[in-house]
Amino acid sequence: LMKVDNNILKLDTVNIDYINTVDKPVGNYDLNRIIDCMKAFNGQLIIQTMFLKGTTDEGVDVDNTHDDYVLPWLETVKQIAPRQVMIYTIDRETPDTHLQKATHEELDRILHMLEDAGIKASASY
């Protein structure tokens, strides 16, 4: 991946319960190993993160726009030190019908937190 122009890797949160609920990884998903591998790129990567709100169809709250999720994620992003972070929200229908887009204001708040930390970032609404 060091040979591609845009090495884009996904990190929606650093909360493993959230990952298991929303992303539903198959097999052995080792979050710490994934973060260590991202750090090994020495900044030659772009992190993509999707922020959303609402609940799963089973009624589990999955709003990752709150500081309980954002602050630990931000600290991890700082440690990874990517060349850029791209944040976005839902763009089309999802299998869980109760999920909602993060608002412009919520994404802007997170974008400013990244920029205040000296991390180049962009948001797609």
103 inside domain: no
pLDDT tens sequence across 9-28: 999 999 999 999 998 899 99
69 inside domain: yes
DSSP states along 42-54: TT--EEEEE-EEE
114 inside domain: no
Number of domains in the chain: 1
Work out the percent of the chain whose per-residue pLDDT is above 90. Answer: 82
Q: In what order do the strands lie in the sheet with 84-88?
A: 8-10, 46-50, 84-88, 121-124
125 inside domain: no
- pTM, to two decimals: 0.92
Question: Residue 70 sits in which domain range?
Answer: 8-98
pLDDT tens sequence across 35-71: 999 999 999 999 999 999 999 888 999 999 999 999 9
